[in-house]
A = this chain, B = another copy of it.
């Protein structure tokens, strides 16, 4: 209980956090003073009394994770990291929000030591924490042994009104309840204030009752400024490992400033006068900006030092683990290093046409047996996406070693949860839904790209080939819109062999991958007939089938349209020498050197026809100045797929005619 005695030194430390944060905002003339002033006590208690952490080894595997879901409160986090000794100097704080600084406007993983997760878009931090807690449970189930609790930590976050309003947070919170994630403990900065005014304007729900309904434990702290109350609530929360916890702390936005408890405290500097008044309120009226009292600095140092033994003990435990369980240890370190074992020979396929979603299912199931780090699932479309890992069980509270995650009909949170899983070292998570609904997960995928996370999004039912389900379910623009995202690799294989050739590439990528697959069966392009299909796909684009003699025209196609290109090439035999280029991935193809790209698409051959059941926008770079395109430029219709393809001109006959017309 000595830990829970809070005295003047603690209060001074909290106020120092507050003032450092508002000083940063004032110096930058940009940022958010309101949250730090209100929520500093919550994070102070958490970081000095509860958080298992070590600034000397900020990434040790069994540390507690902390997420600042309302990322706009970054100044508070940086002040904490500075005082806790994470290598942020006072000059870094003074450089808040400047070009190249370690203290960007919103927390960015990989920029700032101690920042676990990039946050900013509300709701996502909350949702990614759910993935981190699932990661902890999964790794614990796999690697922990009696007396060797290698994975045994909490996932904490600060969450805000804005987070709780976002749909992605509702989805994730409901899933966390079903998953009974007792390691999840969220402090809710319940300040009743949003940008447009009091939360009464838009948010009158009973948050406590809502989270109880999800299956959470809810603890209410009437005064978030009372350190002991916050402390006892956190103790309480940790006692129940069966349920995630929401600790609702009543706080005051902009506490102690002249704008206290008004919307104006949220997102602009306090101004010189407001800042002076705030400084006086906290008893530092005579001090300069960025002042840190010696006792305060020492207090934080002491608290940080107190964390070291835990980490050292764990490292000792790991050493003993290595001796006692050498195979598990080898596997664990392999996974931490992100190394892949030999994946064995690629699958082969019969002659019967199969959908690329089916081929991908075969490959994924094969890989999942060899790579126990593969874990994932679908937003309740597993049997349709064909992303079920057969015989590998469901990931549920009583079966934490299960490899199939049931995300429910929650595409947006699914994307955020796999981000959390990817942030948890040692896992290769995937998720899946229809390509048409990739739009729902898009904000999560964007964050994955910003963080360089190796998540795999499997999107099936990839065109009007969906057929009867009609325009809401037929993706038209999604393939292109995914390609727009920087640092995301988009892959659309033509058949089973391309799918098999591309999965190892997916696993090697250092960034998110969107794998786009057909619902409908597609002819098998056997390596006997098309030897290039074994090695070509990895280059992103390649000559799948060439003409005899110098080609007069090139058909460039992706995915389900490649077989059509080959059929048109056949029709044109004797009339026109046609090369067929398969282009499963723009990003991969663009990474080749110029001479390879020129060998596939020689500048001199200007007669080019692009073929893709999606928008033509962006294709000009492959089609060149005189190329044309068979594409889909408007939303689809409800009808059998074959009929739709015919109506849209995706027939060998039409394609052949278009080639002749070039």
Contact = CB atoms under 8 A, between A and B. Distances in A.
Contacts of A512: none
A637 B104 contact: yes
A103 to B, nearest CB: 8
Interface in A1-41: 28, 30-31
A104 B578 CA distance: 39
A399 to B, nearest CB: 11
Contact of A213 (B106, B205, B446, B483): B205
Given A28-B468, A30-B467, A471-B450, A638 B205 contact: no
Contacts of A548: none
B167 A201 contact: no
A168 interface: yes
A215 interface: yes
A104 B474 CA distance: 13
A44 to B, nearest CB: 25
B120 A194 contact: no
Contacts of A263: 383
B486 A30 contact: no
B98 A394 contact: no
Nearest to A168: B167
A479 to B, nearest CB: 10
Q: Which of A104, A119, A263, A437 has the most CB of B within 10 A?
A: A104
A210 interface: yes
Interface in A180-195: 194-195
B178 A171 contact: no
A484 B615 contact: yes
Contacts of A215: 204-206
A469 interface: yes
B470 A394 contact: no
How many subunits of this chain does the assembly comprise? 2
A647 interface: yes
Interface string A385-415: 0000000001010000000001111111100
A202 B178 contact: yes
Interface in A80-132: 97-101, 104-106, 108, 118-123
A476 B486 contact: yes
Interface stretch (A135-143, A535-543, A595-603, A617-625): A617-625
A196 interface: yes
Interface stretch (A47-55, A158-166, A279-287, A328-336): A158-166
Nearest to A383: B195
Interface residues of A, number: 113
A378 interface: yes
A410 B165 contact: yes
A633 interface: yes
Contacts of A406: 196-197, 201-202
A624 to B, nearest CB: 9
Contact of A472 (B121, B396, B440, B639): B121
Given A196-B382, A408-B202, A409-B122, A473 B105 contact: yes
Nearest to A127: B167
A31 B468 contact: yes
A384 interface: yes
Q: Which of A267, A396, A618 has the most CB of B within 10 A?
A: A618
A277 interface: no
B166 A409 contact: yes
Contacts of A439: 439, 442-443, 446
Contact of A486 (B72, B100, B436, B634): B634
A384 B196 CA distance: 9
Contacts of A210: 209-210, 213-214
A412 B446 CA distance: 16
Contacts of A99: 637, 639-640, 643-644, 647
A450 B474 CA distance: 12
B97 A161 contact: no
A610 interface: no
Interface string A357-400: 00000000000000000000010111110000000001010000
A215 B209 CA distance: 10
A480 B484 contact: yes
Contacts of A101: 638
A263 to B, nearest CB: 8
Contacts of A120: 469-470, 472-473
Given A210-B214, A383-B196, A447-B472, A165 B408 contact: yes
A634 B30 CA distance: 23
A442 to B, nearest CB: 5
Contacts of A171: 165-167, 170
Given A167-B169, A197-B406, A439-B446, 13 more contacts: A121-B437, A163-B409, A167-B170, A167-B410, A178-B201, A194-B409, A196-B382, A202-B380, A205-B213, A206-B214, A439-B443, A442-B442, A476-B486
12 contacts: A72-B469, A97-B468, A97-B640, A104-B470, A165-B174, A165-B409, A174-B205, A175-B202, A177-B204, A440-B443, A450-B635, A481-B481
Interface of A: 28, 30-31, 71-72, 97-101, 104-106, 108, 118-123, 161-163, 165-171, 174-175, 177-178, 194-197, 200-210, 212-215, 263, 267, 378, 380-384, 394, 396, 406-413, 436-437, 439-440, 442-443, 446-447, 449-450, 467-473, 476-477, 480-481, 483-487, 615, 617-618, 620-621, 625, 633-635, 637-640, 643-644, 647
Q: Which 7 A-B pairs have the closest CB atoms?
A: A167-B167, A120-B472, A104-B638, A202-B408, A170-B170, A209-B213, A99-B639
